[in-house]
Amino acid sequence: MTLRASELAPKEYPAAEEGEGLLLAPREEGIASTGAPKTSGGKYEGGIVGHLVPRSQASRLATGIRRWRWHSVLSLCMFIVCGIFTITVNKESVVNIEGVFEKEALRVLHDIPEVSVVEAPSGRRRPDVVVRAGGVTCLVELKTQPHTNAAAARQLAEHARQLAEDTWLLLVARTTTAEARQILEDAGVAVIDGLGNMNVQLPGMFLRTEGQREGPPRHAAQTPVRLTGKAGVAVQALLLAPERLWGVHDLADEAGVSVGLAHRVLDRLERENVVAAEGVGPKRVRRVSGRTALLDLWAEEMRDRGAKQIRAFRLARDPRTLTAALSHALTDAGVEHAVTGAAAAAALAPFVTAIPVMELWVSETVALQEAALAAGAEVVEEGHNVVFAQARDDVPLVYRRKVDDFWSVNLFRLFYDLRRDPRRGREQAQRLREEVIGF
């Protein structure tokens, strides 16, 4: 069965729900790009054909298909190509890139079978790279990095916003993190990495392949301090006072960490270009210079060590009443705690309209079952409306604060906890960032 893009209604293709998929690609070229014209409504039509693929092939594409709408037929067709790319093009080169390259960029690009590279004479003025695919040509500015994490991605996104209107940014990196790729995609920055990940969204061109999510672990001597545990507490201190001038001892005292750890955190963040240093010697201080990138980097690397939880139920008239009742009961029992998740977010912003489960962190000095008993809740296996959780060193409780009539985790911890919710967590975290955090 073959369908032209112009024949497709602007809605989700129902077969995707049934385990079948729609593969869209140029009929003859077998190449992941198109010069299909836009209609006045912004839709693409013509120039592309679609083929139903077998259920065995489509099953791994169905999730991606459901996420795309027909108002961007081009985006959908290129997304599907990534899922069975080798079947369609038989590993032939899909994109030609011509320009002046650094050695690191050449090493990465030469290892990608879908990319052919043509080196141009040096001295060319920027934009310095020409990208061609399926008869479409775009000029881009090339950036090369050995490793791109969330902080570096945020800085590249800011750089891309400052480029001329008809100039696009292409990143070539040996490795990228999943969070970095998402930030760059949201900012419209094209990415090709040595892990096999390619996401190039340029006018008339959409190329996407998926490789490894993360690169191999670095050697211990090469690994900087990760922003988790006590190091993550130091970062939260910086985020809560971004205008403050921080000496090493100042940060150590504020975050309750060793001077050595505070020094390593500040040194790492300075190399990541998210803090700026002033002065020398004992008078050397740092100030947060990229709070948005710092928040991204911390959220990417933060992990709760030794986390555990139990489920419980307590009868209440509504979730907001439950939040206050639990917090009051734990406070009366002398149990240090902090509400998080949707229940905490609902007190700060109107975008949270449903609180299916109340989540709260309690001090590890109290057994979880004892905390539930103190809160007047019953531990259950199913049908719960409360989750009690703990983590090593009570890191989630750091910088907790009183909101209305209950104790809540701090704003940045709330942002992190929301992101981890598999339901609407990412969406709610982004809304919290935009409407409450502000960066």
pTM, full prediction: 0.73
Query: Measured between alpha carbons, how far is 238 from 288 in angstroms, rounded to an integer?
Result: 7
pLDDT value of position 217: 55
pLDDT value of position 48: 31
Pick the CATH number of 223-301 from 1.10.10.10, 1.10.443.10, 2.60.40.10, 3.40.225.10: 1.10.10.10
Q: Is 56 exposed, middle or buried (0-12, 13-18, 19+ CB in 10 A)?
A: exposed
- What's the CATH fold of domain 95-209? Trna Endonuclease; Chain: A, domain 1 (3.40.1350)
Bridge-based pairing state of the strands 136-148 and 168-176: parallel
User: Per-domain residue ranges for the chain?
Assistant: 2-89, 95-209, 223-301, 308-437
Query: Measured between alpha carbons, how far is 191 from 209 in angstroms, rounded to an integer?
Result: 10
pLDDT value of position 28: 32
Q: Is 95-209's fold the same as 223-301's?
A: no
Query: Measured between alpha carbons, how far is 148 from 371 in angstroms, rounded to an integer?
Result: 42
Close Cβ partners of 417 (under 8 Å, ≥ 6 residues apart): 340, 341, 359, 396, 409
pLDDT value of position 52: 33
Query: Measured between alpha carbons, how far is 84 from 44 in angstroms, rounded to an integer?
Result: 22
Q: Is 118 exposed, middle or buried (0-12, 13-18, 19+ CB in 10 A)?
A: exposed
pLDDT value of position 87: 27
43: tokens are 């839709």
Rounded CA Rg of the chain: 25
pLDDT value of position 76: 36
Query: Measured between alpha carbons, how far is 137 from 37 in angstroms, rounded to an integer?
Result: 15
Q: What is the pLDDT along the chain (439 residues), one digit of tens a residue?
A: 333 333 333 333 333 333 333 333 333 333 333 333 333 333 333 333 333 333 343 333 333 333 333 233 333 333 333 333 332 334 456 788 888 888 888 888 888 877 888 877 665 555 578 888 877 888 899 999 999 999 999 999 999 999 988 889 999 999 999 999 999 999 999 999 999 899 998 888 888 888 877 665 554 445 689 999 999 999 999 999 999 999 999 999 999 999 999 999 999 999 999 999 999 888 899 999 999 999 999 999 999 999 999 999 999 999 889 999 999 999 999 999 999 999 999 998 877 778 889 999 999 999 999 999 999 999 999 999 999 999 999 999 999 999 989 999 999 999 999 999 887 888 889 999 999 999 9
